[in-house]
């Protein structure tokens, strides 16, 4: 019984990993903000290009993630 559950968990994890990888590699039409929506500081161009659709600077994004 445990082997069946382990296989089911492995398969579920594999499917999740594949879906996340596809999402990461898929082209995005989202436009990144030029200024952070939280602090109004300019978002560096490299961040805008690297993280499609970003709306916050690195510092504010870090604060958001800590609050979760």
pLDDT tens for 24-57 read: 777 767 899 999 999 999 999 999 998 889 999 9
What is the overall mean pLDDT for the chain? Answer: 91
Q: Count the domains in the chain.
A: 1
For residue 50, the enclosing domain spans 4-67
Whole-model pTM: value is: 0.58
What is the 3-state secondary structure of 11-44?
HHHHHHHHHHHHHHHCCCCCCCCCECCCCCCECC
Residue 68 has pLDDT above 90, yes or no: no
pLDDT at 10: 95
Residue 1 has pLDDT above 70, yes or no: no
Of 29 and 3, the structure prediction assigns the larger pLDDT to 3
């Amino acid at each position: 019984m445990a082997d069946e559950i382990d296989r089911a968990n492995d398969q579920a994890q594999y499917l999740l990993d594949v879906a996340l990888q596809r999402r990461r590699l898929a082209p995005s039409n989202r436009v990144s903000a030029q200024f952070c929506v939280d602090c109004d500081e300019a978002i560096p161009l490299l961040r805008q290009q690297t993280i499609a659709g970003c709306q916050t600077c690195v510092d504010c994004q870090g604060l958001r993630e800590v609050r979760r």
